[in-house]
Protein backbone atom coordinates (compact mmCIF):
# COMPACT_ATOMS: atom_id res chain seq x y z
CA UNK A 1 0.00 0.00 0.00
CA UNK A 2 1.47 3.35 -1.07
CA UNK A 3 1.50 6.27 1.35
CA UNK A 4 3.03 9.62 0.54
CA UNK A 5 5.37 11.12 3.14
CA UNK A 6 4.74 14.77 3.94
CA UNK A 7 7.69 17.12 4.21
CA UNK A 8 8.12 17.91 7.89
CA UNK A 9 8.43 21.66 7.24
CA UNK A 10 5.27 22.02 5.14
CA UNK A 11 4.01 24.36 3.82
CA UNK A 12 6.93 25.20 1.55
CA UNK A 13 5.24 28.26 0.06
CA UNK A 14 3.04 30.85 1.74
CA UNK A 15 1.64 34.17 0.50
CA UNK A 16 3.95 37.20 0.75
CA UNK A 17 2.43 40.29 2.33
CA UNK A 18 4.37 42.59 0.04
CA UNK A 19 2.90 40.95 -3.08
CA UNK A 20 -0.65 42.20 -3.59
CA UNK A 21 -1.27 39.44 -6.15
CA UNK A 22 -0.78 36.76 -3.47
CA UNK A 23 -3.49 36.23 -0.88
CA UNK A 24 -3.33 32.46 -1.30
CA UNK A 25 -0.65 30.40 -3.09
CA UNK A 26 -1.31 26.78 -4.03
CA UNK A 27 -1.75 24.19 -6.84
CA UNK A 28 1.68 24.25 -8.44
CA UNK A 29 2.96 22.67 -11.63
CA UNK A 30 6.41 21.10 -11.25
CA UNK A 31 9.23 19.91 -13.46
CA UNK A 32 12.82 18.80 -12.78
CA UNK A 33 15.15 20.32 -15.35
CA UNK A 34 18.82 21.28 -15.45
CA UNK A 35 19.34 19.91 -11.92
CA UNK A 36 16.61 22.07 -10.37
CA UNK A 37 12.95 21.82 -9.43
CA UNK A 38 10.92 24.48 -11.21
CA UNK A 39 7.48 25.40 -9.86
CA UNK A 40 4.68 27.39 -11.44
CA UNK A 41 2.13 28.09 -8.73
CA UNK A 42 -1.33 29.58 -8.67
CA UNK A 43 -1.70 32.80 -6.70
CA UNK A 44 -5.15 34.14 -5.91
CA UNK A 45 -5.33 37.84 -4.99
CA UNK A 46 -7.91 39.78 -3.00
CA UNK A 47 -9.39 40.94 -6.28
CA UNK A 48 -10.33 37.27 -6.90
CA UNK A 49 -8.02 37.09 -9.92
CA UNK A 50 -5.59 34.17 -10.25
CA UNK A 51 -2.11 34.64 -11.67
CA UNK A 52 0.85 32.28 -11.96
CA UNK A 53 4.13 32.76 -10.11
CA UNK A 54 7.52 31.07 -10.31
CA UNK A 55 9.66 29.45 -7.60
CA UNK A 56 12.72 27.22 -7.66
CA UNK A 57 14.28 24.59 -5.41
CA UNK A 58 17.54 22.68 -5.51
CA UNK A 59 16.48 19.78 -3.30
CA UNK A 60 12.74 19.70 -3.97
CA UNK A 61 11.85 21.05 -0.53
CA UNK A 62 13.55 24.35 0.22
CA UNK A 63 12.65 27.33 -1.95
CA UNK A 64 15.84 29.14 -2.98
CA UNK A 65 14.36 31.49 -5.57
CA UNK A 66 10.98 33.14 -6.01
CA UNK A 67 10.16 35.93 -8.42
CA UNK A 68 8.46 39.11 -7.21
CA UNK A 69 6.10 39.35 -10.16
CA UNK A 70 3.86 36.75 -11.83
CA UNK A 71 5.14 35.05 -14.99
CA UNK A 72 1.72 34.40 -16.54
CA UNK A 73 -1.31 36.67 -16.19
CA UNK A 74 -4.82 36.87 -17.65
CA UNK A 75 -4.89 38.33 -21.17
CA UNK A 76 -7.70 36.78 -23.21
CA UNK A 77 -11.47 37.11 -22.96
CA UNK A 78 -11.63 33.59 -21.57
CA UNK A 79 -9.32 34.63 -18.72
CA UNK A 80 -10.72 38.04 -17.80
CA UNK A 81 -13.52 38.53 -15.31
CA UNK A 82 -17.01 39.18 -16.64
CA UNK A 83 -18.54 39.28 -13.15
CA UNK A 84 -16.89 41.13 -10.27
CA UNK A 85 -16.09 39.14 -7.12
CA UNK A 86 -16.24 35.84 -9.00
CA UNK A 87 -12.96 33.95 -9.28
CA UNK A 88 -11.31 34.49 -12.65
CA UNK A 89 -7.91 34.44 -14.31
CA UNK A 90 -5.43 31.66 -15.02
CA UNK A 91 -5.69 28.74 -12.62
CA UNK A 92 -4.10 25.39 -11.74
CA UNK A 93 -1.15 25.12 -14.15
CA UNK A 94 0.35 21.77 -15.17
CA UNK A 95 3.63 21.41 -17.10
CA UNK A 96 4.62 18.75 -19.62
CA UNK A 97 7.88 18.69 -21.56
CA UNK A 98 7.66 17.30 -25.09
CA UNK A 99 10.77 17.61 -27.27
CA UNK A 100 12.20 21.14 -26.79
CA UNK A 101 9.02 22.75 -25.53
CA UNK A 102 7.24 22.98 -22.21
CA UNK A 103 3.47 22.91 -22.54
CA UNK A 104 1.34 24.38 -19.79
CA UNK A 105 -2.27 23.33 -19.48
CA UNK A 106 -4.35 25.57 -17.24
CA UNK A 107 -7.89 26.62 -16.49
CA UNK A 108 -9.05 29.85 -18.10
CA UNK A 109 -11.76 31.32 -15.88
CA UNK A 110 -13.82 34.41 -16.65
CA UNK A 111 -16.12 34.24 -13.63
CA UNK A 112 -18.83 32.44 -15.59
CA UNK A 113 -17.21 29.40 -17.16
CA UNK A 114 -13.98 27.44 -16.66
CA UNK A 115 -12.30 26.19 -19.83
CA UNK A 116 -9.12 24.23 -20.56
CA UNK A 117 -6.37 26.23 -22.25
CA UNK A 118 -2.82 25.49 -23.41
CA UNK A 119 0.28 27.67 -23.72
CA UNK A 120 3.88 26.73 -24.49
CA UNK A 121 7.42 28.03 -24.15
CA UNK A 122 10.83 26.88 -25.42
CA UNK A 123 12.83 24.98 -22.81
CA UNK A 124 15.80 27.33 -23.27
CA UNK A 125 13.66 30.41 -22.67
CA UNK A 126 12.04 28.79 -19.65
CA UNK A 127 15.42 28.02 -18.05
CA UNK A 128 16.61 31.56 -18.80
CA UNK A 129 13.40 33.02 -17.36
CA UNK A 130 12.40 34.67 -20.62
CA UNK A 131 8.66 34.41 -20.22
CA UNK A 132 7.48 34.61 -23.81
CA UNK A 133 4.57 32.20 -23.48
CA UNK A 134 2.66 31.42 -26.67
CA UNK A 135 -1.04 30.77 -26.17
CA UNK A 136 -2.82 28.11 -28.19
CA UNK A 137 -6.09 29.08 -26.52
CA UNK A 138 -9.10 27.22 -25.19
CA UNK A 139 -9.32 23.78 -26.73
CA UNK A 140 -12.99 22.97 -26.17
CA UNK A 141 -14.61 26.43 -26.42
CA UNK A 142 -17.81 26.73 -24.44
CA UNK A 143 -17.34 23.49 -22.48
CA UNK A 144 -17.01 23.53 -18.71
CA UNK A 145 -13.72 21.69 -18.56
CA UNK A 146 -10.90 21.48 -16.00
CA UNK A 147 -7.97 19.43 -14.69
CA UNK A 148 -6.27 18.84 -18.04
CA UNK A 149 -2.89 17.10 -18.36
CA UNK A 150 -0.85 16.19 -21.42
CA UNK A 151 0.88 12.84 -21.70
CA UNK A 152 4.65 13.47 -22.01
CA UNK A 153 4.85 11.36 -25.19
CA UNK A 154 2.87 11.34 -28.40
CA UNK A 155 0.96 8.18 -29.22
CA UNK A 156 0.82 7.27 -32.94
CA UNK A 157 1.64 10.86 -33.78
CA UNK A 158 -1.06 12.27 -31.50
CA UNK A 159 -0.90 14.44 -28.42
CA UNK A 160 -2.89 12.81 -25.62
CA UNK A 161 -4.95 14.86 -23.20
CA UNK A 162 -6.74 13.75 -20.03
CA UNK A 163 -9.33 16.24 -18.81
CA UNK A 164 -12.36 16.47 -16.55
CA UNK A 165 -15.89 16.94 -17.75
CA UNK A 166 -17.71 16.61 -14.46
CA UNK A 167 -17.77 14.07 -12.90
CA UNK A 168 -15.52 11.85 -15.07
CA UNK A 169 -12.01 11.94 -16.53
CA UNK A 170 -12.02 11.93 -20.35
CA UNK A 171 -9.32 11.37 -22.96
CA UNK A 172 -8.88 13.24 -26.26
CA UNK A 173 -6.32 13.24 -29.09
CA UNK A 174 -4.88 15.89 -31.38
CA UNK A 175 -2.29 16.22 -34.15
CA UNK A 176 -1.72 19.95 -33.59
CA UNK A 177 -3.02 20.83 -30.07
CA UNK A 178 -5.80 22.88 -31.67
CA UNK A 179 -8.22 20.38 -33.16
CA UNK A 180 -9.20 17.62 -30.74
CA UNK A 181 -11.06 14.37 -31.03
CA UNK A 182 -14.40 13.97 -29.34
CA UNK A 183 -13.85 13.34 -25.60
CA UNK A 184 -14.07 9.69 -24.58
CA UNK A 185 -14.64 8.50 -21.00
CA UNK A 186 -11.40 7.25 -19.44
CA UNK A 187 -12.36 6.77 -15.80
CA UNK A 188 -15.42 7.27 -13.62
CA UNK A 189 -16.04 7.84 -9.90
CA UNK A 190 -16.69 4.75 -7.78
CA UNK A 191 -19.79 4.41 -5.64
CA UNK A 192 -19.41 4.35 -1.86
CA UNK A 193 -15.69 5.09 -2.01
CA UNK A 194 -13.39 8.06 -1.37
CA UNK A 195 -13.69 9.11 -5.02
CA UNK A 196 -17.46 8.69 -5.35
CA UNK A 197 -18.59 12.26 -6.16
CA UNK A 198 -16.17 13.41 -8.88
CA UNK A 199 -12.62 12.83 -10.06
CA UNK A 200 -9.99 14.76 -11.99
CA UNK A 201 -6.37 14.57 -13.09
CA UNK A 202 -3.73 15.75 -10.63
CA UNK A 203 -0.25 15.98 -12.16
CA UNK A 204 0.74 14.91 -15.69
CA UNK A 205 1.61 11.19 -15.78
CA UNK A 206 5.19 10.00 -15.28
CA UNK A 207 6.57 6.86 -16.90
CA UNK A 208 7.72 4.13 -14.53
CA UNK A 209 8.85 0.70 -15.68
CA UNK A 210 7.34 1.18 -19.14
CA UNK A 211 3.89 2.26 -17.93
CA UNK A 212 2.34 5.53 -16.78
CA UNK A 213 1.86 6.56 -13.17
CA UNK A 214 -1.19 8.81 -13.20
CA UNK A 215 -2.13 10.50 -9.93
CA UNK A 216 -5.65 11.88 -9.68
CA UNK A 217 -7.88 13.55 -7.11
CA UNK A 218 -11.12 12.09 -5.90
CA UNK A 219 -13.89 13.92 -4.08
CA UNK A 220 -16.31 12.50 -1.56
CA UNK A 221 -19.42 14.48 -0.76
CA UNK A 222 -20.30 14.37 2.93
CA UNK A 223 -22.76 16.10 5.23
CA UNK A 224 -19.91 18.32 6.45
CA UNK A 225 -18.73 19.23 2.96
CA UNK A 226 -16.54 17.81 0.21
CA UNK A 227 -13.28 16.00 0.99
CA UNK A 228 -10.49 15.98 -1.61
CA UNK A 229 -8.06 13.05 -1.58
CA UNK A 230 -5.37 11.73 -3.94
CA UNK A 231 -5.07 8.27 -5.49
CA UNK A 232 -3.47 6.81 -8.59
CA UNK A 233 -3.81 4.51 -11.56
CA UNK A 234 -1.21 2.69 -13.63
CA UNK A 235 -1.92 3.18 -17.34
CA UNK A 236 -0.60 0.87 -20.06
CA UNK A 237 2.51 2.36 -21.66
CA UNK A 238 1.28 1.55 -25.17
CA UNK A 239 -2.44 2.13 -24.73
CA UNK A 240 -3.34 5.38 -22.91
CA UNK A 241 -6.94 4.23 -22.53
CA UNK A 242 -6.11 1.01 -20.66
CA UNK A 243 -5.95 1.09 -16.86
CA UNK A 244 -3.81 -1.71 -15.41
CA UNK A 245 -4.33 -0.85 -11.76
CA UNK A 246 -6.35 1.61 -9.67
CA UNK A 247 -5.69 2.24 -6.01
CA UNK A 248 -8.50 1.18 -3.73
CA UNK A 249 -7.41 3.56 -1.00
CA UNK A 250 -6.09 7.13 -1.22
CA UNK A 251 -2.38 7.84 -0.97
CA UNK A 252 -2.86 11.29 0.60
CA UNK A 253 -5.80 12.89 2.35
CA UNK A 254 -6.42 15.89 4.64
CA UNK A 255 -4.88 15.28 8.05
CA UNK A 256 -2.77 18.31 8.92
CA UNK A 257 -4.17 21.67 9.99
CA UNK A 258 -2.87 23.32 6.78
CA UNK A 259 -4.93 20.79 4.79
CA UNK A 260 -8.07 20.93 6.93
CA UNK A 261 -8.32 24.68 7.50
CA UNK A 262 -8.03 27.46 4.95
CA UNK A 263 -9.81 29.02 2.02
CA UNK A 264 -11.50 25.65 1.29
CA UNK A 265 -11.47 23.07 4.08
CA UNK A 266 -10.34 19.46 3.72
CA UNK A 267 -8.45 19.72 0.46
CA UNK A 268 -5.26 18.14 -0.87
CA UNK A 269 -5.03 19.03 -4.56
CA UNK A 270 -2.05 18.39 -6.80
CA UNK A 271 -0.96 19.80 -10.15
CA UNK A 272 2.73 18.84 -10.11
CA UNK A 273 4.84 15.70 -9.88
CA UNK A 274 8.60 15.68 -10.43
CA UNK A 275 11.04 12.78 -10.41
CA UNK A 276 14.66 12.74 -9.32
CA UNK A 277 16.52 9.42 -9.27
CA UNK A 278 14.15 6.95 -7.56
CA UNK A 279 12.20 9.62 -5.70
CA UNK A 280 8.93 11.32 -6.60
CA UNK A 281 8.08 14.80 -5.36
CA UNK A 282 4.38 15.57 -5.38
CA UNK A 283 3.43 19.23 -4.95
CA UNK A 284 -0.04 19.94 -3.66
CA UNK A 285 -2.22 22.72 -2.34
CA UNK A 286 -3.39 22.53 1.25
CA UNK A 287 -6.94 23.82 1.80
CA UNK A 288 -6.54 26.01 -1.32
CA UNK A 289 -4.28 28.28 0.72
CA UNK A 290 -0.65 27.11 0.82
CA UNK A 291 1.74 24.93 -1.18
CA UNK A 292 3.11 21.68 0.23
CA UNK A 293 5.17 18.71 -0.91
CA UNK A 294 5.10 14.98 -0.19
CA UNK A 295 7.39 12.22 -1.44
CA UNK A 296 7.47 8.52 -2.27
CA UNK A 297 9.84 6.09 -3.91
CA UNK A 298 9.14 4.96 -7.45
CA UNK A 299 9.65 1.40 -6.22
CA UNK A 300 6.70 1.81 -3.82
CA UNK A 301 4.32 2.11 -6.76
CA UNK A 302 5.96 -0.76 -8.63
CA UNK A 303 5.49 -3.08 -5.65
CA UNK A 304 1.80 -2.30 -5.43
Distance CA 156, CA 269 (A): 31
Considering only CA atoms, which of 180, 73, 176, 69 is closest in space to residue 116? 180
Whether cis (ω within 30° of 0) applies to the bond prior to 167 is yes
| pLDDT tens-place string over residues 150-165 | 999 999 999 999 999 9
Neighbours of 16 (CB within 10 A): 14
What whole-number percentage of the chain has pLDDT above 90?
96
| pLDDT tens-place string over residues 111-134 | 999 999 999 999 999 999 999 999
| pLDDT tens-place string over residues 240-254 | 999 999 999 999 999
pLDDT at 47: 93
Tell me the pTM: 0.97
> Does 87 have pLDDT greater than 90?
yes
29: CB partners within 8 A, 6+ apart: 39, 40, 41, 93, 94, 95, 104, 203, 271, 272, 283
| Antiparallel, parallel or unpaired: β 134-138 and 146-150 | unpaired
Distance CA 222, CA 225 (A): 5
Residue ranges of domains in the chain, CATH in brackets: 5-303 (2.115.10.20)
Q: How many whole angstroms from its chain centre is CA 248?
A: 21
> Does 234 have pLDDT greater than 90?
yes
* Cβ 41 vs Cβ 26: under 8 Å: yes
Helix/strand/coil percentages in the chain, nearest 5: 5, 50, 45
Task: Grade residue 303 by pLDDT with cuts at 50, 70 and 90.
Answer: confident
Amino acid sequence: MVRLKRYQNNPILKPRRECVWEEYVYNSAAIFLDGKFHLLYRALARDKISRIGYAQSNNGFTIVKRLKNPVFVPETEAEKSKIKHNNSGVEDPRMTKIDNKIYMTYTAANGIINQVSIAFIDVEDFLNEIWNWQRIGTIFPGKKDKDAVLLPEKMKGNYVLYHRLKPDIFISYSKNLKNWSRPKVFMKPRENMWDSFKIGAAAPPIKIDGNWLFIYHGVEKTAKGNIYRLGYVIVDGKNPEKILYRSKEPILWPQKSYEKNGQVANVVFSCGLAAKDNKLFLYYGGADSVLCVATAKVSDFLKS
